[in-house]
Structure 1
Amino acid sequence: MALSKVFVSLMLLISLISTVSSTGVIGGKALPPKKPPVAVAPAYAPIYSPAPSPIAVPPTPAASPPVYAPVRRLIAVQGVVYGKPCSDWGHDTLMHASPLPGAEVRLVCHGKPKENPLKIMATTDKNGYFFILATKKVSEYGAQKRCRVFLQSAPTNSKFIHSTHMNGGLSGAYLRYTKPAKPLLFALYTVGPFAYEPLPSVCHQKV
């Protein structure tokens, strides 16, 4: 009998639970509706953009060394004047010639068209050698085209008074650059050698 009551009570309880579950009502009160589950976006692994390539910076060019204007040196001209004997008269040779002291030569340098040419005289020493150091008006720039050296006059009381054309003595000899053995403060040029000879009448009397 007692077992039957327990069984009946259990069946009523199950029936009540089923009714509540199906109607959502407990004790005459409706249960609140269930909220639908919130949709959650699936989680993905983060995607990173590739790092930008480094910008190539052109190398800085090396600084150029300063450019200086070339220093224009003054010029100096040297040469030798000889006296030719009658045996070599009229011949372009110095085989039997000897140095002629006291002879005068003339350096002529032309500048701008309207300027007067520069003229500098020099006299040979006992070895027939002359040396002309030009003024500041003449530099090595263009000197070989602008300047020439001429025979000016023979020594006083000398038998060698007839000037010759040898190496441009009469028409004017252009300057030849000469590299010195040691550095100099000026640019060295050479002309000649030049030559004087006796007058034709003197040499013909001896023939």
Structure 2
Amino acid sequence: MANNRFIITISILLPLALLAATTTAKDVATKQDKTATVVVEGKVYCQSCKYFGSWSLTGAEPIPAAKVSVICKNHRKRVSYYNTFLTNEDGYFYAELKDFKMTHYLLDHPLHSCHVKLLSSPLETCNLLSNVNNGINGSPLKFENKVLYGKNYEAVVYGCGPLAFRPTNCDPETTP
């Protein structure tokens, strides 16, 4: 009779102990999970009149407060992410894609699904869209082999461009 009580007690307590151990391990794993964030960076310039009509950025000047968009489409060609970003005083933008989600690990990967487009320039003398590095059609992302690490944070950095607006008026003498 004592052996039966022991077996019954073990058969009840053992699953409870295993359940408690798995719950604790699961809680620890959840606390240690890191969030991976996708970041896109690039620069926006005003192309020199001398190189108007080409993709050359020789003599180009950075544009502060230029606006670009990052658009991602899922493997069903539906927009899954869209946001706009402004450049800083050096024409540089750092676009953290908050809430970007991949429903398919390969087809929805940022390298395949996202691109950057020029939207607007605050400069009246340089606000025409150019397709330098596909700024009009959508510049594809490039993996820059950069990952930023922090406590419970990881950001994978992609680059695009550089992108450029073109001047509104170029003298015929300065264009090729």
5+ residue gaps, structure 2 = 1-33
- 2:117 paired with 1:154: no
Q: Which residue of 1 aligns with 2:44?
A: 81
For residue 71 of structure 2, what is the aligned residue in structure 1?
A: 108
Secondary structure of the equivalent of 1:87?
helix
| Correspondence list, 1:114-129, <5 A | 116-129=79-92
Q: Indicate yes or no: 2:131 matched with 1:165.
A: yes
Q: Is the 8 A contact 1:75 1:138 kept in 2?
A: no
CA distance in 1, matches of 2:59, 2:158: 26
User: RCO greater where, 1 or 2, for CA within 8 Å and sep 6 or more?
Assistant: 2
Greater helix content: 2
Q: CA RMSD in A?
A: 2.7
1:145 alignment counterpart:
112
Residues in 2 aligned to 1:190 and 1:169: alpha-carbon distance in whole angstroms = 13
Larger of the two Rg values belongs to structure: 1
Given candidates 158, 161, 176, the residue that maps to 2:142 is 176
Q: What's the TM-score once normalised by structure 2's chain length?
A: 0.67
**For residues 130-188 of structure 1, what are the alpha-carbon distances to aligned partners after superposition, in whole Å with 9 as ceiling and x for unaligned?**
01101233359411111111111112x43111111111101101111112276461110
**Identity, % of aligned pairs?**
25
AA aligned to 1:122 is F
Q: What is the CA distance between 1:85 and its match in structure 2?
A: 2.3
What's the CA shift for 1:113? 3.2
TM superposition score normalised by structure 1: 0.58
For residue 39 of structure 2, what is the amino acid of its counterpart? Answer: A
Look up the SS of the partner of 1:144 in the other structure. helix
- Stretches of structure 1 that go unaligned for 5 or more consecutive residues are 1-70
Higher strand share: 2
Structure 1 stretches of at least 4 aligned residues deviating more than 6 Å after TM superposition: none
Letter in 1 for 2:127: I
